[in-house]
A and B are shown apart, each in its own frame.
Chain A
Amino acid sequence: MITNTLNDGQLVALYLNGNEGGFEVLIERHQARIFTSIHLIVKDRYIAEDLRQETFIKALNTINAGRYNDEGKFQPWIMRIAHNLAIDHFRKNKRFPCIVMEDGSNIFNTLEFSEAPYETIQEQKDTKNKLLAFIQELPEVQREVLVMRHYMEMSFQDIAESTGVSINTALGRMRYALINLRKKMIKNKNAYDQNIYPK
């Protein structure tokens, strides 16, 4: 059994030495960040799942072909693959819009089956959907930095380089993204409270 104490580089080395469990731990470790980053770009959870799968397959093919040489920086490398796939998909499909709900989700993604109490699931889902929608409402430059820093875990320096701005601009955009999100959540909460407890 492989423990979670091994770092990414050690897990890649383990996989290259014939232990497939090494890559399975990498999937477990990074799949949530990859899924969420892609989901925020393509705005459709099923497409995000497909692209996450494609990300891991692409990574595997590169490793299997002996072309992985990222000096132990597995996470930024695989996040770049995910980001590129998501952006490619987004660009390709811009001409073929799907039906998107008010909260930004695809209309076909609303069906879900679960054994947890309906109210709890609904409340959690509502909060998440609102937050997703608020992120989509952010100015593009703020949303971009937020996804890259928070979900893809890129450093502000890397973000500045890949978006062609100064590090201070990247930091400022992140700050405004967080401030704007907070304002939107507070405004939403107040509107909700006034509906439930009208004055």
Chain B
Amino acid sequence: MPMTKTFTQNDLIRYLYDETSLEEAREIQLAILCNGSLQEEYNNLNATKLMLDELLETGTSSSLQSSRSKV
């Protein structure tokens, strides 16, 4: 059975937002695979994060046209 390190919930947030080193990311991925509750928490956090992307919008194009005309 692979040895997995223990991670805090804050580590999971850093992983969610790509703020871990490659090595840390690999270890967290392994921990997520091996730990059901960690996996559930990660899935929930990730689903909410994806939902937030739906709010990304551009507004109307007229003000952008105006910004471009200043270039």
Q: Using a CB–CB distance below 8 Å, which chain A residues touch chain B?
A: 15, 20, 23-24, 27, 31-33, 35-36, 39-40, 45, 48-50, 52-53, 56-57, 60, 127-128, 131-132, 135, 146, 149-151, 155-156, 168, 171-172, 174-175, 178-179, 181-182, 185
Contacts and interface: CB of A to CB of B under 8 A. Distances in A.
Contact of A178 (B14, B48, B58, B68): B48
Contacts of B51: 131, 181, 185
A60 B71 contact: yes
Interface of B: 9-10, 12-14, 17, 19, 44-45, 47-49, 51-52, 54-60, 62-64, 66-68, 70-71
Give the top 7 A-B pairs by smallest Cβ distance, nearest first. A171-B10, A49-B63, A56-B67, A49-B59, A53-B63, A178-B48, A182-B48
Contacts of B66: 53
A102 B47 CA distance: 25
A52 B54 contact: no
B13 A174 contact: yes
A160 B44 CA distance: 24
Most chain B beta carbons < 10 A, residue from A20, A40, A132, A171: A171
